[in-house]
Amino acid sequence: MENKPLSVTELTTGIKKLLEQNYTSIKVTGEVSRMTKHASGHIYFTIKDAHASISAVIWRSTAVRLKLQPKEGEEFIFSGSISVYEPRGTYQLVVRKVEKAGAGQLAAEFERRKALFSKRGWFDAEVKKKLPELPVHIGIVTSPTSAAFEDVKKVLATRPAWLQLTLAPAVVQGDTAPAAIARAINQLNSMASRPDLILLTRGGGSMEDLWCFNDELVVKAVVESEIPVISGIGHEIDTTLADFAADVRAATPSNAAELASPDRDTLRSRLPKASQLQHIWQRAQDGRHQHCERSAIQLTANFRQRMASRHRQLSEMNQRLALQEPRRKLRLREQTLHRCQQHLTTFQLHGRERQHRKLERLRQQLNWLKEKGISANGQKVTTLIKQLHDLGPLEVLKRGYTMSVDAEGELLTSADQLAAGNRVDIRFHDGIAIAEAKKILKDSPS
């Protein structure tokens, strides 16, 4: 007989019944991805590991009550149940609780340390120190930027005006926190005028956030503190091993401040003996005056020392600045320029004098050479003129010589230039004779 086919609704209803009945209370560990916060307040996301993923939802009514909110990319342990959405045939984990992955191991380690420290007697009532009824000086160990510190200051501001506060700052979360907290507690114990009481405080957080207060360094520092310690760590539901070791545990940082010192109204009702109150107040005032006086002396000395140091630095800077001062540089440049101008003027004067003297010597030499040259040349010209005159044709003709030219005026220097019958002009020094050659007689060669 064949099985009767199921409708989609019947199949989905069967799966819904099977899953929701068998997975009513489960825990799933995985990484958060694709998280969306809906306007309605519901939170939708996916839980995944290396091989698979599952849809998850946190309804608004649960989300507002969760101590730890899931964060994208981080791993958590989710407690809840499986729910099937029939219209789409999908299933999802409805989350009711969120824990940081590894919280179970932390809880086991917490119990192991608690048993160990208890065995050492660190939590015994016999080792608890009594709180001072009216502390004058209170030390605070916390982060200076934390809300817990602000809460403590607000409460203590309503306490007696003589109350002195000393903050020993410390990191209160992370790997470096245990050593920082222990160091701060020890510093308060080592003060010359140490506090009457120590407040160890921090705001709320997850178990991981508060884990530093479960460290052996912190617990040991609380136990060994000679000053009574009030712990105010986290919220009322948070408990750390430092709370067990403290002389008094407060529910919150504000509650720790309230337990540390009574308010003014309580003091009035609690102390009927006015003289005793006056004595305590006077002692506190004297202590504060002495502290203020010491502080003032120290501050004055420090101020004078710093002022002297600053004065020396300022003097050195002024000296260096004076060397770089523009007007000083300008004056030096002007002085240099003035010296150069003086040198130039002197050089010019001396140069002109030397040139003038040289020129005068040259002028004298020129005049001498000119006079000498003119005289010598005059004599030479005279001689040349006389020689030229003596050698002139007329002077030669005067000595009995004649000069003959042909009809064309050509000078006759040879008998070969004439023929019988040619005209000959004979030049004497005082006239010319015109003649005709009758016969040409040539000298025989010797």
How confident is the model over 313-349, as pLDDT tens digits? 888 887 777 777 677 777 877 888 888 888 777 777 7
Q: Which residues of 199-230 are buried (b: 16+ CB within 10 A; e: fewer)?
A: bbbbbbbebebbbbbbbebbbbbbbebebbbb
Q: Which secondary-structure segment (H or E) carries 282?
A: helix 274-324
Q: What is the mean pLDDT of residues 4-22?
A: 88
Q: What is the mean pLDDT of residues 182-202?
A: 95
pLDDT on residue 338: 83
Q: What is the mean pLDDT of residues 279-297?
A: 71
Higher pLDDT among residues 242 and 396, named by residue: 242
- Residue 79 DSSP symbol: E
Q: What is the mean pLDDT of residues 195-200?
A: 96
List beta partners, residue 404: 426
Q: Distance (Å, rounded) from C-alpha 203 to C-alpha 211?
A: 13
pLDDT on residue 124: 94
pLDDT on residue 114: 93
pLDDT digits (tens, 9 = 90+) for 95-154: 999 988 766 677 888 899 999 999 999 999 999 999 998 899 999 999 999 999 999 999
Q: What is the mean pLDDT of residues 44-57?
A: 92
pLDDT above 70 for 422: yes
How many Cβ atoms from other residues are within 10 Å of residue 397's Cβ?
15
How many Cβ atoms from other residues are within 10 Å of residue 177's Cβ?
22
Give yes or no for a contact between 19 and 26, defined as CB atoms under 8 angstroms apart.
no
pLDDT on residue 101: 76
Q: Is 386 exposed, middle or buried (0-12, 13-18, 19+ CB in 10 A)?
A: exposed
Query: Is 8-101 in CATH node 1.20.1250.20?
Result: no
Q: Distance (Å, rounded) from C-alpha 207 to C-alpha 212?
A: 9
CATH, domain range 105-270 = 3.40.50.261
Q: What is the mean pLDDT of residues 373-384?
A: 76
pLDDT digits (tens, 9 = 90+) for 212-259: 999 999 999 999 999 999 999 988 888 999 999 999 999 999 999 999
Q: Distance (Å, rounded) from C-alpha 371 to C-alpha 361?
A: 15
Give yes or no for a contact between 48 and 74, defined as CB atoms under 8 angstroms apart.
no
CA atoms within 13 A on the CB side of 261: 28
Q: What is the mean pLDDT of residues 272-285?
A: 62
pLDDT on residue 244: 95
**CB under 8 Å to 434, separation ≥6 — which residues?**
423, 424, 425, 426
Higher pLDDT among residues 310 and 274, named by residue: 310
Q: Distance (Å, rounded) from C-alpha 228 to C-alpha 25?
A: 46
Q: Distance (Å, rounded) from C-alpha 236 to C-alpha 288?
A: 35
Mean pLDDT of the chain: 85
Least trusted range by pLDDT, from 79-88, 312-321, 344-353, 409-418? 344-353
Q: Which secondary-structure segment (H or E) carries 436?
A: strand 431-436
pLDDT on residue 104: 67
pLDDT on residue 242: 95
SS3 350: helix
Q: What is the mean pLDDT of residues 188-194?
A: 95
pLDDT on residue 74: 87
List beta partners, residue 200: 141, 231
For 67, 202, 281, 303, 410, the CA distances from 146, given in Å and listed in that order, are: 20, 8, 32, 32, 145
Confidence category of residue 3, pLDDT binned at 50, 70, 90: confident
Give yes or no for a contact between 230 and 197, defined as CB atoms under 8 angstroms apart.
yes
**Residue that is written with structure tokens 């609704």 in the block:** 9
Assigned token pair, 428? 């004497």
Domain limits of the chain?
8-101, 105-270, 273-320, 356-391, 396-436
pLDDT on residue 272: 56
Q: Distance (Å, rounded) from C-alpha 256 to C-alpha 98?
A: 30
pLDDT above 60 for 271: no
Q: What is the mean pLDDT of residues 379-390?
A: 77
